[in-house]
Structure 1
Amino acid sequence: MASSPRCARSSPRERGAARVSPLGRARSLAYASGSLAVDVVGPILAWIPYLYAPPADLPGAAALLPAASVGVLLFVGRFVDGFAEPIVGWASDRADTRWGRRLPFVLFGTPVLVASFLGLFFPPFGPGQSLATGVWLAVVNTIFWCAFTAVVAPYLALLPEIATTSEERTRVSTWMTAFSIVAIVGGNLVLGAVVAEFQGGRAWLGVHFDNGFEPQALGIAALAFFFFYLSVAFVRERPRADGDPPHLSLRAAVRESLRNPAFLPLVIPLSVFLIGVNVVVTAVPYLGRAVLHASEAEAGYGAAAVYVSAGLSLPLVGRATAHWGKKATYAGALLGISALFAAIPLVAVSPHPTATYLALMIALGLPVGALLVLGKVLIADVIDADYERTGLRREAMYFGMQGLMTKVSFGVGPLVATQLFDRFGNTAEHPLGILLCGPVAAALGVLGWLAFRRYPLP
């Protein structure tokens, strides 16, 4: 008896693997370098509240907006961008161009991303023009994050398509993590120091800058532009085959993503956890003067220490994953970070606050390294589970749906932190709003860990 067409053909995983040649070291490194472009913007973006709403006791500083208003306006951009994520993912999965499905988004979206990024750090309105500044921040921030999504979601969607085995994905993901660490460590090492050095404005290379954010934004924009293009310069996407299943409508694609039994148990815990992470990230710039009684430089050094430690921990992440499995290692990292967040108020009562702060940040490195590596691997596993179930290649749709939920978290975190600043204070005389960010983040992390226990894949 003749076999059915479904039984006669190879599995979706086998067909996908057969169409893509193994990645060589050079192509893998070039693709992974895109993570530097993704993450080089992160440290300075976390300081936007400090730029627009510096603490009242900062010498010579003038607030452009109240802290609570900055949090609300930043949330608007993230909220709008969250809904852009699945649309970009759906459009990328359906795209059919001579360059492929993903590459056009990176090629044409990068200039918009870079231009809007610069706009965030060169607001054209000064103190006393709150309405105009607020509109500028809301609009430019929204454009930036939508452009960021249009570039990064298709870039990340290439990973499960060009790396077809678990070993290859783990290797590329590890290199991506290494590039991310270089970007984040480098940014945090210089960010606070340059902000402190340029306090009140100064000239550099014959150009006057009003603050330390402006020269850094120019350099970061150049790096992002270069590495986004390098990351896709040598990528050859999987060719579309006649046997590929038809595309789904946007509504059907969203519905099918939510029906994947592994998807929501991964992204809901991550979204809750990321709210807490971004509460702490927003608080870090204010720690230097208000809690450590030092400068912005020390706050930046602590953030850099997290990722130096994370980089050194990467070999241990591989061993832990081999011994305990991906799910258990990821869950342990969630709990470890939550415990360390809860300890942040101890910095204020320590006789050596800077040393205590740096010790906490170094300890955070091990669980952070695990999350950085395994986050990409787990979502690739979820995509594979969908591919086996439906036969559809929908990498960008999954990254888009993940972004819909996590981008809102990135907006809620600063919103929560700035409300704490507004209610309880963010100055040396009244630092409680800064210190409360740690326990609030810890509680959210524990909730994320509890929810992740329902994740069904190993």
Structure 2
Amino acid sequence: MAGAAPSSALTPPRLPARTRLGYAFGSIAGNAVSQAWGLWLLYFYAPPADATVTGKVPDVWGIDARVFLGGLLTAARVLEAFDDPLVGYWTDRTSSRWGRRLPFVVAATPLWAAGFVLLFLPPFEGTSLGNAAYLFVAAMFFYLFSNLAGAPLEALLPTLAKRHDDRLSIATWQLLFGVTGAVLGLSISSLVVDLAGFPAMAATVGGTALLVRGATVAAIWRYAKEDAQPAAPGLRRALRETFSNPQFLAYLPSFVLFQTGLQMLTGVLPFYVDAVLHDVKLFGRTGAEHTGTFTFLLTATVIAGIVAAFPLYRRAAQRRGKAWAYRAAMAASAGAFPLLAFAGFLPAVPSLVQAILIVFGAGMATAGVFMFPNILTADIVDHDAQRTGTRREAMFYGSQNMLEKMATAFSPFLLALALSAGDSPENPTGVRITGPLAGALVALAFVSFRRYSLAPELEERRAARS
């Protein structure tokens, strides 16, 4: 048609493959640290009575140490969460020769990695309330610099990847690299705990995360510096417009509930080994004496399930859209998580085999939660820019992180409450009910996402056909 703009003028150029890979490579760092945190922190400070690890915090006023620590970590997480939108607003409004985001990532990443190591270096031997106070302060320090280092990096995604195929490509590589981080944070950390102890594990995970984050910054430096135009609105208007976006309000509860259920399921695995697989023998080792080894086996199985499922989710996103694939992940997870309660009940099938099959299925189901949230948020950012005329990437990611932290802060508390129903081989009730509780949270996530309607990649495809 005469006068029509060529398609190349309407479609942004593709981001170079090495930059897409470099940006996605950073997923190793965040996943390694967050998975090791979720797996080991509660167990390290308040292990079961028959564990080989000594506790660091006593029961307080008759309250079980795990419940007390769960409440403590919840309070720290909720208090720190309020700085997420403020950091987002700050980075959105920053102007420098390094762009809006890079100064924060470069300055905060070393302190974030150091903060993770400090979590596993309590100052007092044995059980002590001083260790509880130390953990509260160390957790606040870690949370703050995790936000300052991670949120600006997340906010670069809509700017770096303007095309939907680039976003899906990055999401796919983030999943694969995220699995690598999960191997480090879940499986390798378990072996390091058995071989060298918790401080060595924290140093291994934190040091690797620091190196990976540095490599990511180097890979994206050229393009990230171009993100230099500060956002115009004031803080009150930015918050109001962010939380009035209907698509964001439809998406946010699903993400928060999914993450909460997933963290509960991750955190219960060492307790599951002690309570359900305590007398299982494998290569001369028992679950009771080698919690780290058996936890490694379960977490490696979860990761194998994630790897097996990611091509299915990618194909589903290409054919039916990202939102449809994300819904499928929530539906599958809501069905898979409760099955962990029944491992060991089938006759003639070893308990370990049953557990492995169930956690493999749970891993396949959860692949979508690692793959789609960031690119769904990027679509919401684009949609909001069309509505308001202003791009506030970090405000959206920061607000998302704030509510995620406030909700997932309750995951260790909910887990501790569940475990109070029984976490021993004689009474594993609390361990077994954690799977169904996590599944119920994910089912609520599925219901909350029904109002989400963005599908820009499908709209572009229909427009191209017409």
TM-score using structure 1 length: 0.88
Aligned to 1:237: 224
Check conservation: 2:32, 2:186, Cα contact below 8 A: no
In the TM superposition, residue 255 of structure 1 has moved relative to its aligned partner by 0.7
CA deviation string 1:158-216 (max 9, x = no partner): 11101110001111121111111011023322233333345xxxxxxxxxxxxx21111
| Residues in 1 aligned to 2:227 and 2:400: alpha-carbon distance in whole angstroms | 25
State how 1:8-19 maps to structure 2 within 5 Å: none
Aligned to 1:29: 21
State how 1:225-264 maps to structure 2 within 5 Å: 225-235=210-220, 236-237=223-224, 239=226, 247-264=232-249
Aligned to 2:86: 87
* Counterparts in 2 of 1:406 and 1:92: CA distance versus 1, 3 Å: same
Aligned to 1:329: 325
In the TM superposition, residue 420 of structure 1 has moved relative to its aligned partner by 1.7
| Residues in 1 aligned to 2:402 and 2:442: alpha-carbon distance in whole angstroms | 19
In the TM superposition, residue 291 of structure 1 has moved relative to its aligned partner by 0.8
Q: Secondary structure at the match of 2:261?
A: helix
Q: Secondary structure at the match of 2:391?
A: coil
The alignment status of 1:374 with 2:372, answered yes or no, reads yes
Amino acid paired to 1:413: S
Amino acid paired to 1:375: P
CA deviation string 1:310-347 (max 9, x = no partner): 12322211211233322222112101111111111111
| Residues in 2 aligned to 1:277 and 1:290: alpha-carbon distance in whole angstroms | 20
* Counterparts in 2 of 1:240 and 1:399: CA distance versus 1, 3 Å: closer
In the TM superposition, residue 60 of structure 1 has moved relative to its aligned partner by 5.8
State how 1:11-410 maps to structure 2 within 5 Å: 22-46=14-38, 47-59=40-52, 61-65=54-58, 66-130=65-129, 132-198=130-196, 212-235=197-220, 236-237=223-224, 239=226, 247-293=232-278, 294=287, 295-296=290-291, 297-350=293-346, 351-410=349-408
In the TM superposition, residue 81 of structure 1 has moved relative to its aligned partner by 2.7
Q: Secondary structure at the match of 2:372?
A: helix
Aligned to 1:434: 431
Check conservation: 1:420, 1:437, Cα contact below 8 A: yes
Aligned to 2:462: none
Check conservation: 1:82, 1:403, Cα contact below 8 A: yes
In the TM superposition, residue 283 of structure 1 has moved relative to its aligned partner by 0.8
| Residues in 2 aligned to 1:290 and 1:84: alpha-carbon distance in whole angstroms | 39
Q: Secondary structure at the match of 1:58?
A: coil
| Residues in 2 aligned to 1:411 and 1:419: alpha-carbon distance in whole angstroms | 13
In the TM superposition, residue 246 of structure 1 has moved relative to its aligned partner by 5.3
Q: Secondary structure at the match of 2:141?
A: helix
| Residues in 2 aligned to 1:114 and 1:62: alpha-carbon distance in whole angstroms | 24
| Residues in 2 aligned to 1:316 and 1:278: alpha-carbon distance in whole angstroms | 23
Q: Secondary structure at the match of 1:349?
A: coil
| Residues in 1 aligned to 2:53 and 2:324: alpha-carbon distance in whole angstroms | 49
Aligned residues: 426
* Counterparts in 2 of 1:246 and 1:379: CA distance versus 1, 3 Å: closer
Shift >6 Å, 4+ stretches: none
CA deviation string 1:204-260 (max 9, x = no partner): xxxxxxxx211111111211111112111132236468xx68521112111111111
* Counterparts in 2 of 1:178 and 1:158: CA distance versus 1, 3 Å: same
* Counterparts in 2 of 1:218 and 1:245: CA distance versus 1, 3 Å: closer
| Residues in 1 aligned to 2:219 and 2:53: alpha-carbon distance in whole angstroms | 49
In the TM superposition, residue 298 of structure 1 has moved relative to its aligned partner by 1.6
- Decide which moves more: 218-227 or 230-239: 230-239
Q: Secondary structure at the match of 1:55?
A: coil
In the TM superposition, residue 454 of structure 1 has moved relative to its aligned partner by 1.0
In the TM superposition, residue 41 of structure 1 has moved relative to its aligned partner by 0.8
Check conservation: 1:185, 1:308, Cα contact below 8 A: no
* Counterparts in 2 of 1:34 and 1:353: CA distance versus 1, 3 Å: same
Check conservation: 2:44, 2:55, Cα contact below 8 A: no
- Residue identity over aligned pairs, in percent, reads 31
| Residues in 1 aligned to 2:230 and 2:211: alpha-carbon distance in whole angstroms | 36
Amino acid paired to 2:332: G
| Residues in 2 aligned to 1:218 and 1:246: alpha-carbon distance in whole angstroms | 38
| Residues in 1 aligned to 2:272 and 2:409: alpha-carbon distance in whole angstroms | 20
- Decide which moves more: 387-396 or 271-280: 271-280
| Residues in 2 aligned to 1:154 and 1:217: alpha-carbon distance in whole angstroms | 24
CA deviation string 1:21-73 (max 9, x = no partner): 64212222222111111111123211101100010011463343411111112
Q: Secondary structure at the match of 2:390?
A: coil
Check conservation: 1:278, 1:413, Cα contact below 8 A: yes
In the TM superposition, residue 415 of structure 1 has moved relative to its aligned partner by 0.7
| Residues in 2 aligned to 1:376 and 1:240: alpha-carbon distance in whole angstroms | 18
- Decide which moves more: 74-83 or 441-450: 74-83
| Residues in 1 aligned to 2:102 and 2:262: alpha-carbon distance in whole angstroms | 31
In the TM superposition, residue 306 of structure 1 has moved relative to its aligned partner by 1.6
Aligned to 1:207: none
| Residues in 2 aligned to 1:271 and 1:314: alpha-carbon distance in whole angstroms | 21
Q: Secondary structure at the match of 1:262?
A: helix
